Amino acid sequence: MKKLLFIILALVSLSTLTYASFPVSNGVVSNEVVVSPEAPSTSSAADIDWTLFILCFFLGALGVHRFAMGDITNGILMLLTAGGCGIWALIDLIKIAQGKMRM
């Protein structure tokens, strides 16, 4: 039984390594590098969506901020898992504070 469980676990862990973690397209790839003279934009306090931040801070474990964003599937998953035991909600709170998540 232990061997079977180990084999299943090994197959599952190896199968997750085969997926690409970046978008793959079938188009022609260009080797051109485009460099813009502008400095990279940094997020400031004005970039933060405060409504989303407050929703995530107080009701993040329930996934209310995901429902407000229109992401119903992840909102339901967060509701069922209590925000991934708070870890998922904390990650979302940090992303909102950095300005990477918006409504």
pLDDT digits (tens, 9 = 90+) for 61-103: 888 888 888 888 888 888 899 888 888 888 888 888 888 777 7
- Is the distance from CB of 63 to CB of 78 less than 8 angstroms? yes
DSSP 8-state assignment for residue 82: H
Identify the pLDDT of residue 76.
Answer: 87
pLDDT recorded at residue 69: 86
CB atoms within 10 A of CB 31: 4
Categorize the per-residue pLDDT at 30 as very low, low, confident or very high, splitting at 50, 70 and 90. Answer: low
| Residue 102: partners with Cβ closer than 8 Å, 6 or more residues away | 49, 52, 69
Cα separation, 3 vs 58, in Å, equals: 45
Alpha helices of the chain — where are they, by DSSP H? 2-16, 50-59, 64-69, 72-85, 87-98
**What is the rounded distance in angstroms from the CA atom of residue 16 to the CA atom of residue 96?**
28
